Amino acid sequence: MKHIQSKHPLQYAEQKENNSPVSPATLSQSQATSSHFAQQTLPDVFAKKDGYKEGGLKKQQLDKLLIKMIATDLQPISIVEDKGFKNFVYGLDPWCVMPSRRDMTRKYLPAMYDEAVKQVQGELRETPHVSLTTDLWTSRQTRGFITVTAHYINSEWNLKSAVLETARLKVDHTAENIADELKRICTLWEILDKVCCIITDNAANIVAAVTKYMQIKQQPCFAHTLNLVVQDSIKNTNEIKLSQEKIKRIVSFFHHSVKATDKLSEIQNQNGVERKKLIMDVDTRWNSTFYMMERFLEQHEAITTTLCLLGKSNMCLSSEELEVVKGAVLLLGPFEEATREMSTENFTSLSKVIPITRALQQCINSNAHMRTGFGTELQKQLQKRFATVEKVFQLGAATLLDVPRGTNNSPGRGPIEMVKMHSVLFPKLHALAKKFLCIPATSVPSERLFSKAGELISHRRSALSDKNINMILFLNKNM
């Protein structure tokens, strides 16, 4: 039995699952079947075994796939030492030997990182213009990092994005220190003289780092600016702020009470309403406030009934407060669509900023709730932050270069493809397109990495060095 278990694990597992012994007939039949398809000679066996040795072709392939899996899924490198994973790999291929964690971090990970770096460097050398998105973030272990992502149009006229570096910032986050770090990264990648624009949030330190110390054009992140428009409008409209806080208390009550949550589910079933969990907003994301209010309105009757049955009728919204929330959701709907448009695409062109901004203003003006305090405040904040949007050169240039889509002359074609098609007729337009159509409207590409970084720098991966964090996040984005 030990021989069968060690030498024929698949047959042993099958028979054990069926609670029946492995008979010699079954074993012979299995061996006969396998030999029918491919009977290996001794040289073949030894040749196969050699492939799994250090430096062997098969081992190189498997080790590369292992690194790709870790980078793609942000698995901890220590997975190679996990007993369950080792058993799984052995079941797939008994010849395969897992590399050590030490070899992974000192040999295989750096080798694949260097290979990917050369590929990105090659493309950056060929492009005349590069735009950057960057932002600062803090890990769960309160370690400060800066991430820089490059955007460019390559020689084949494909729009590309590549994470250049996720660097640890051990100094104070002053404008001068941030500028020094950005210069170091740009110099390392040999693109300092190619950077045409850097997209950041509206924080004073990073804006000064780009404009004052680097003297490069800075473009505020459109999504972040929209967030400020809505957040400031809510803060400055007392009736909306009070309704928001009251809904937050209701949501918090249900989130912290099993009894209340169960009762709400019961009422939802009785009313034939789809069971949905209430949403709590996040202070830094205005659209979470929209989703919280929208879900509250959708489940209002069930929520009110549940609160009354639990003796919490004092928490319910009055009819006047409910109307305020309904009006706010209607006014914020277009802002949610604009934010989703900015955040869902892999790359949102700068050419969309002016059209979306003016469309938002028109939506508010035509809304029946525009004359409310909240509608007036939204219009005021939009005017404050986007009054001169047409006068920003890079915004105007990108908008003009974005050929109208869906017309008879450009059915379904994007601006880059259209410029590429007419490069012989318009050589100067061709050059301008490479400069302005590579600029994204938001710093979302850098921010998206934060959530991935949060997954990476978790409890199981807390021992990762700053160097390994950078390499894994680089591969995750650029492989």
Confidence (pLDDT) at 182: 97
The rounded mean pLDDT for the chain is: 84
Ranges 136-145, 165-174, 456-465: which has the least confidence: 456-465
How much is the average pLDDT of 196-202?
93
Where does the pLDDT of residue 377 fall: very low under 50, low under 70, confident under 90, or very high at 90 and above?
very high
How much is the average pLDDT of 171-183?
96
Where does the pLDDT of residue 98 fall: very low under 50, low under 70, confident under 90, or very high at 90 and above?
confident
- The length of the chain in residues reads 479
Torsion over CA: 95, 100, 101, 102 (sign): negative
β-sheet with 130-138: strand ranges across? 159-168, 144-153, 130-138, 195-200, 218-220
Using DSSP, state whether 162 is helix, strand or coil.
Answer: strand
Confidence (pLDDT) at 340: 84
Tokens found for residue 408: 């008879």
Selected residue with higher pLDDT from 12 and 100: 100
The Cβ-side half-sphere exposure at 288, using a 13 Å CA radius, reads: 9
Ranges 293-302, 355-364, 427-436: which has the least confidence: 427-436
Phi, psi of 160, deg, nearest 5: -125, 150
Share of residues in the chain with pLDDT > 70 (%)? 82
Confidence (pLDDT) at 385: 93
Confidence (pLDDT) at 308: 95
Selected residue with higher pLDDT from 126 and 52: 126
Which residue carries 């030492």 as its tokens? 81
Quote the CA–CA distance of 78 and 93 in Å, as a whole number.
20
255-273 pLDDT, tens digit per residue, is: 999 999 999 999 999 988 8
423-454 pLDDT, tens digit per residue, is: 777 778 878 888 999 999 988 765 555 555 55
321-345 pLDDT, tens digit per residue, is: 999 999 999 999 999 998 888 776 5
Region class of 348: left (phi > 0), else alpha (psi between -120 and 50), else beta = beta
- Comparing CA positions, the residue from 363, 364, 340 lying closest to residue 352 is 340
**Cα 375 versus chain centre, distance:** 32
CB of 137 within 8 A of CB of 453?
yes
Share of residues in the chain with pLDDT > 90 (%)? 51
How much is the average pLDDT of 229-256?
94
**Amino acid symbol at 29:** Q
Quote the CA–CA distance of 373 and 330 in Å, as a whole number.
14
Q: Which residues are bridge partners to 161 per DSSP?
A: 151
Q: Is 65 exposed, middle or buried (0-12, 13-18, 19+ CB in 10 A)?
A: exposed
CB of 382 within 8 A of CB of 375?
no
Residue 43 has pLDDT above 60, yes or no: no
**Amino acid symbol at 126:** E
Radius of gyration of the chain (CA): 29
Question: Other CB atoms closer than 10 Å to residue 372's CB: what's the count?
Answer: 19
Inter-axis angle of helices 444-456 and 466-478, nearest 10 = 120
Confidence (pLDDT) at 131: 96
The Cβ-side half-sphere exposure at 428, using a 13 Å CA radius, reads: 1
Terminal Cα-to-Cα distance of the chain (whole angstroms): 46
pTM equals: 0.79
